[in-house]
């Protein structure tokens, strides 16, 4: 299996290199966190808001932007297109679940992204020297684990929505709703602790938190041991849910595809 | 032992019809009327290892649908399918490794990269050992003349070149069973001949079983001894191509060129005249009578050149379909075609 992934990755990387200009632009367009940063930056001018100083907001949103970049997923567009145009049939002739090809394509992008992001991160650090994170080794490891979890949950969620193209012609709308919710409840509009406490209490257990906010929360050092443990557990729970739902949808979807074909 | 066995295969699609216009749209929204399109209707045949079988039929006959069922992309509405002992719709890896489906209009090569890149990915996916990969690649490169093409971006290749690379990609894993759906469509004459030669060669070397659909009769006559003819999902004929021609068109075609004009002789005496033009003519003569008629004509007419031919296979097949169409009209059946064959 490893050999297959290696081969798929090689191919995806090669294909990505063909689109050098595109790559750069995709990587640089990431407006939302910066917009929100501008809002909270000016709002916290007069003093901290719910425990977040101006510097805290800067730290938060810059890292959020990085996490966003390192977890982007676009597989729904690829899947939707290929299902509709019958291109999926070609993939189904191979003795390999098409999921792996899509995963490898996304992974290849993630391998290349840091090369564009690291210079930007350094630039941001120079502009905002007061940004601070908890960089204790254990924390860094947990951050990376949460980052991987965020990427996976975003991917599998979009993939599942993409598979709905087997049934409905409008799976993208569902995905848009999902995306909207993840912006609100995933920490983009505001750090989750800034919401009313009953909203935060619910949001802490929803998958959206683990798609974006959780890695940043870990890096901020504001989570207690208990918080961390519960967070990781919840994240793993949603990863598990994602896998289970994907398998169920895929099995039914492929049966339906085989009934109607393309 | 038969390798490919179809037993009363039926594949029906549910399709709803919509009246044209806005009222039709509203009606269709409120209550949908579904009816079955019988893409494949009670089809049965068995194919042995190493055969090259031509699968013929007009557009919408059910050929591509049948190939898709055989390769596991579609599952049957009823009936059973068995290939190499597997049930194709289960899509087991072990099964997929032994077959290939080449569809003229669909491509698996990565558009932005050279073909060789896709080959490498396939080698990994099909778990082809390095030595075998190299051997197969060399063989395919030689047979299909791929050497100058492999490192060019696929989107820069011409249609013919792309088709050759697609076929190579599909055969990299040395499948035992080849399903070829219109492999020569859109190709020029030279390329068609090359692909035909290749298929024959591959069949010889690897004893691979081939099911080939094509609208080019030249493909069929060059490669297939046996043909299966289907129309509207039903089997019309399964057997030797030659025998079919003799049954449907029990005539031979005699083409003559005269050295000078006929005085008084009437060609109609010799056979059915189908064409005259200046000093040339074409006649249809019953097979058994051909030697005698030819001898008479040579003795009695001022002939400068003569050829005796089988009637073109296109005519034969067209007649088969016409007969079937007439039979359907007599039975009062509708003329609905399957969507993508």
Q: Do B126 and A11 touch (CB under 8 A)?
A: no
Q: Do B124 and A4 touch (CB under 8 A)?
A: yes
pLDDT of residue B341: 42
Positive or negative CA dihedral for B296, B297, B301, B304?
negative
Q: Do A11 and B89 touch (CB under 8 A)?
A: no
Q: Do A3 and B97 touch (CB under 8 A)?
A: no
What is the CATH T-level fold of the domain B2-245, as seen in this structure?
Rossmann fold (3.40.50)
pLDDT at B26 over 80: no
Q: Do A258 and B89 touch (CB under 8 A)?
A: yes
Whether B96 has its CB under 8 Å from any CB of chain A: the answer is yes
Q: Do B120 and A94 touch (CB under 8 A)?
A: no
Mean pLDDT, range B59-78, rounded to an integer? 90
Mean pLDDT, range B184-190, rounded to an integer? 83
For chain B, what are the domain ranges?
A: 2-245, 250-310
CB pairs under 8 A between A and B: 75
Q: Which of A167, A102, A250 is nearest to B91 (CA)?
A: A250
ipTM, 2 dp: 0.81
Q: Do B71 and A18 touch (CB under 8 A)?
A: no
B186 within 8 A of B194, measured Cβ to Cβ: no
pLDDT of residue B324: 82
Mean pLDDT, range B86-91, rounded to an integer? 92
Range name among B146-150, B157-161, B315-319 with the lowest pLDDT average: B315-319
Whether A8 has its CB under 8 Å from any CB of chain B: the answer is yes
pTM: 0.82
Mean pLDDT, range A169-173, rounded to an integer? 82
DSSP for B264-331? Answer: S--GGGTSEEEEEETTEEEEEEEGGGHHHHHHHHHHHS-EEEEEEEPPPHHHHHHHHHHHHHHHHHHH
Which residue out of A14, A82, A90, A93 would a mutagenesis test of the B interface target, given it has the greatest number of B Cβ atoms within 10 Å? A93
pLDDT at B128 over 90: yes
Whether A87 has its CB under 8 Å from any CB of chain B: the answer is yes
| Residue pLDDT, tens place only, A42-101 | 888 888 888 888 888 999 999 999 999 899 999 998 898 888 887 888 899 999 999 999
Burial A90-125 (b: 16+ CB within 10 A, else e): bbbbbbbebbbbbbbbbbbbbebbeeebeebbeebe
| Pairwise CA distance, residues A226 & B148, whole Å | 64
B273 within 8 A of B282, measured Cβ to Cβ: yes
Whether A10 has its CB under 8 Å from any CB of chain B: the answer is yes
- The two structure tokens encoding residue B56: 């013929």
Domain B250-310, CATH: 3.30.70
């Amino acid at each position: 299996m490893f050999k297959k992934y290696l081969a798929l990755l090689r191919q995806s990387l090669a294909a990505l290199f063909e689109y050098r200009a595109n790559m750069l632009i995709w990587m640089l367009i990431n407006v939302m966190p910066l917009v929100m940063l501008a809002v909270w930056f000016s709002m916290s001018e007069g003093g901290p808001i719910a425990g977040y100083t101006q510097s805290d907001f800067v730290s938060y949103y810059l890292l959020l932007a990085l996490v966003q970049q390192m977890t982007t997923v676009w597989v729904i567009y690829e899947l939707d297109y290929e299902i509709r145009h019958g291109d999926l049939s070609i993939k189904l002739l191979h003795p390999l679940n098409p999921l792996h090809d899509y995963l490898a394509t996304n992974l290849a992008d993630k391998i290349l992204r840091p090369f564009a992001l690291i210079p930007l991160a350094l630039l941001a650090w120079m502009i905002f020297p007061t940004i601070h994170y908890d960089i204790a080794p254990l924390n860094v490891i947990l951050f990376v684990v949460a980052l991987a979890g965020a990427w996976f949950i975003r991917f599998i969620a979009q993939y599942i929505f993409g598979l709905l193209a087997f049934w409905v012609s409008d799976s993208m709308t569902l995905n848009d709703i999902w995306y909207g919710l993840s912006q609100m409840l995933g920490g983009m509009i505001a750090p989750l602790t800034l919401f009313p406490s009953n909203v935060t209490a619910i949001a802490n257990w929803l998958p959206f938190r683990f798609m974006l906010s959780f890695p940043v929360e870990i890096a901020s050092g504001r989570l207690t041991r208990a918080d961390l443990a519960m967070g990781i557990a919840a994240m793993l729970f949603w990863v598990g849910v994602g896998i289970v739902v994907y398998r169920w949808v895929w099995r039914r979807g492929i049966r339906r595809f085989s009934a109607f074909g393309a | 032992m038969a390798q490919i066995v179809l037993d009363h295969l039926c594949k029906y699609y549910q399709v709803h019809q919509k009246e044209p216009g806005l009222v039709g749209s509203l009606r269709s929204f409120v209550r949908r009327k579904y009816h079955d399109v019988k893409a494949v209707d009670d089809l049965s045949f068995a194919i042995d290892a190493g055969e090259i079988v031509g699968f013929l039929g007009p557009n919408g006959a059910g050929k591509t649908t049948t190939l898709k069922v055989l390769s596991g992309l579609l599952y049957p509405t009823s009936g059973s399918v068995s290939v190499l002992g597997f049930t194709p719709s289960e899509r087991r890896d072990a099964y997929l490794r032994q077959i290939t489906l080449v569809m003229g209009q669909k491509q698996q090569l990565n558009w932005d990269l050279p073909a060789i890149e896709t080959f490498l990915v396939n080698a990994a996916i099909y778990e082809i050992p390095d030595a075998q990969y190299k051997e197969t690649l060399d063989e395919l490169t030689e047979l299909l003349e791929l050497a100058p093409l492999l490192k060019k971006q696929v989107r820069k290749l011409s249609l013919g070149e792309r088709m050759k690379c697609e076929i190579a990609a599909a055969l990299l894993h040395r499948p035992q069973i080849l399903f070829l759906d219109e492999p020569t469509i859109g190709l020029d004459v030279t390329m068609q001949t090359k692909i035909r030669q290749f298929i024959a060669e591959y069949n010889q070397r690897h004893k691979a079983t081939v099911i080939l659909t094509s609208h080019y009769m030249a493909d069929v006559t060059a490669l297939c001894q046996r043909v299966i003819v289907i129309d509207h999902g039903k089997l019309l004929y399964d057997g030797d191509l030659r025998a079919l021609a003799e049954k449907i068109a029990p005539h031979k075609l005699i083409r003559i060129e005269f050295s000078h004009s006929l005085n008084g002789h009437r060609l109609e005496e010799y056979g059915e005249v189908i064409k005259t033009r200046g000093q040339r003519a074409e006649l249809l003569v019953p097979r058994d009578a051909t030697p005698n008629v030819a001898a008479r004509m040579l003795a009695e007419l001022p002939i400068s050149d003569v050829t005796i031919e089988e009637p073109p296979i296109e005519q034969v097949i067209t007649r088969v379909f016409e007969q079937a169409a007439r039979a359907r009209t007599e039975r009062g059946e509708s003329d609905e075609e399957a969507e993508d064959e």
